[in-house]
Structure 1
Amino acid sequence: MDLNTVVEIRDARHPAPWRPGDAWLGGGTYLFSEPQPHLRRLVDLSRTGWTPVRPHPDGSLEIAATCTIAQLSRFAREFRAEAAPLFEQCCRAFLASFKIWNMATVGGNLCNSLPAGPMISLTAALDGECLLHAQDGVRRRVRVVDFVTGAGRKVLTEGELLRSITLPARALACRTAFRQASLYGLGRSGALVIGTLDPVDHSLAITITASTVRPVRLWFPLPPTADGLRAAIDAAVADDEWFDDIHGLPAWRRHMTFRYAEDIRRELSHGEEPQ
């Protein structure tokens, strides 16, 4: 879609004062999907040259905000980590065309902050941490589960940039389990639940996305009982935090979340296949 109110595109490599009507431009798959009448200038990140995925000596993994879904998928095919399959599972949760895969960015998916954002699911489940750059040069780090605060809401301040997301080595060494539900065969996620089992202390984390307005990550020092897991989800998700839109009613999303969380608990803690 043409954005006929935009009068300038600025290269992000050449800093300039931020002003009302500015927006960061990554892949543009959201910006150009609908009218943006409030925008006057786009600050283009496409030529920053940031390495899409960078392994660090401590075993952690830094994903640039400009990393596309296609680049992340290609990296994951050669990535030798226990949690590697989760990358492709979340990439496939887009159910998008190759054109979207080659343009949409990890950072854009987080910044849109939609409940069904699969890069939110991936990075929240692996205890990711966002690096944010403010216009005054201040940098801060925020966990992904705290970065997204609601449907379409995040903690970014005016002009603040999501630079990258870092996944810790310990999370990458975890066994994972993935469950996704949609009302349609090729529909948007209505519930997406991910489990991670730590090989060191056998702690279990259950991360809930798509069914809730914000990512919810529950951590248990040891795998809980079925009743304990259900109670923890009930306590963590308020009644008005179950998402409600055309892709699923709150009651259905809640039901599927409980069902998948229990499947994952049994799979990771007992090695049982779901019924």
Structure 2
Amino acid sequence: MDLNTVVEIRDARRPAPWRPGDAWLGGGTYLFSEPQPHLRRLVDLSRTGWTPVRRQPDGSLEIAATCTIAQLSRFAQALPAEAAPLFEQCCRAFLASFKIWNMATVGGNLCNALPAGPMTSLTSALDGTCLLIAQDGARRRVKVADFVTGAGRKVLAEGELLRSVTLPARALGCRTAFRQASLYGLGRSGVLVIGALDPVDGSLAVTVTAATVRPVRLWFPLPPTAGALRSALGSAVADGEWFDDIHGLPEWRRHMTFRYAEEIRRELGGATR
């Protein structure tokens, strides 16, 4: 879609004062999908030259905001880590064409802050941390689980940039379990639950997205009992935080979340209680 209110595209490598009507341009798959009448200028990140994905000396993984879904998928196929299959599972949760895969970015998916954003699911489940850069160059780090605060809402300040997401080495070594539900065969995720079992200390993290307006990540020092897991989920998600749209009623999303969380508990914890 043409954005007929945009009068300028600026190269992000050439700093200039941020002004009302500006927006960061990554892959553009969302920006160009519907009218954006409030926009006047796009700040293009495509020529920044950021390495899409790289392994850090400490074993962590840094994913640039401009990394496309296709690039992340290819990288993960050769990633020697226990959690590697989760990357492809979340990439496939896009249910998008190859054209979208080659343009849509990890950063864009996070910054849209949609409940069904699968990059939010992946990075919050693996305890990711966002690097944010303000217009004055100040940097701050925020956990992905805290970055998205509601449907379409995030903690970004005016003009602030999501530079990258870092996944810790320990999380990459976790054994994972993935559950997804949709009302349609090839529909948007209505429920997405991910479990991650830490082989070092036996702790279990259960992360809920798509069903809730924000990511909900629960951490247990040891795999919980069925009752403890159900109680923790009930306490962590308020009644008004179950998402409600044409892709699923809150009651259905809640029911499926509890069902999938219990399946994951049994799969990863080997528990029967």
TM-score past 0.5 threshold: yes
Q: Quick one: which amino acid aligns to residue 265 of structure 1?
A: R
2:250 counterpart residue number: 250
Q: Quick one: which amino acid aligns to residue 257 of structure 1?
A: T
Aligned positions of 1:1-275 closer than 5 A = 1-270=1-270
TM-score of the pair, normalised by structure 2: 0.99
Q: Shift of the alpha carbon at 1:271?
A: 7.6
TM-score of the pair, normalised by structure 1: 0.98
Give the whole-Å Cα distance in 2 for the aligned partners of 1:225 and 1:122.
25
Asked if 1 retains the 8 angstrom alpha-carbon contact of 2:225 and 2:271, the reply is no
Q: Shift of the alpha carbon at 1:114?
A: 0.2
What does the per-residue CA deviation read over 1:56-75, in whole Å, with 9 as the maximum and x for residues that have no partner? Answer: 01000000000000000000
Residue ranges of structure 1 left out of the alignment (5+ in a row): none
Q: Quick one: which amino acid aligns to residue 143 of structure 1?
A: K
Q: Which runs of 4+ in 1 moved over 3 A?
A: none
Q: How many residues align?
A: 272
Give the whole-Å Cα distance in 2 for the aligned partners of 1:47 and 1:9.
12
Q: Shift of the alpha carbon at 1:240?
A: 0.2
Aligned to 1:137, the other structure's residue is in SS state coil
Asked if 1 retains the 8 angstrom alpha-carbon contact of 2:116 and 2:210, the reply is yes
Give the whole-Å Cα distance in 2 for the aligned partners of 1:270 and 1:70.
34
Give the whole-Å Cα distance in 1 for the aligned partners of 2:103 and 2:254.
32
Give the whole-Å Cα distance in 1 for the aligned partners of 2:182 and 2:80.
30
Q: Quick one: which amino acid aligns to residue 9 of structure 1?
A: I
Q: Quick one: which amino acid aligns to residue 57 of structure 2?
A: P
Asked if 1 retains the 8 angstrom alpha-carbon contact of 2:265 and 2:271, the reply is no
Q: Quick one: which amino acid aligns to residue 124 of structure 2?
A: A
Give the whole-Å Cα distance in 2 for the aligned partners of 1:244 and 1:236.
17
Asked if 1 retains the 8 angstrom alpha-carbon contact of 2:69 and 2:91, the reply is yes
What does the per-residue CA deviation read over 1:230-249, in whole Å, with 9 as the maximum and x for residues that have no partner? Answer: 00000000000000000000
Q: Quick one: which amino acid aligns to residue 123 of structure 1?
A: T
Give the whole-Å Cα distance in 1 for the aligned partners of 2:271 and 2:17.
55
Q: Quick one: which amino acid aligns to residue 170 of structure 1?
A: R
Give the whole-Å Cα distance in 1 for the aligned partners of 2:57 and 2:268.
28
Give the whole-Å Cα distance in 1 for the aligned partners of 2:136 and 2:78.
38
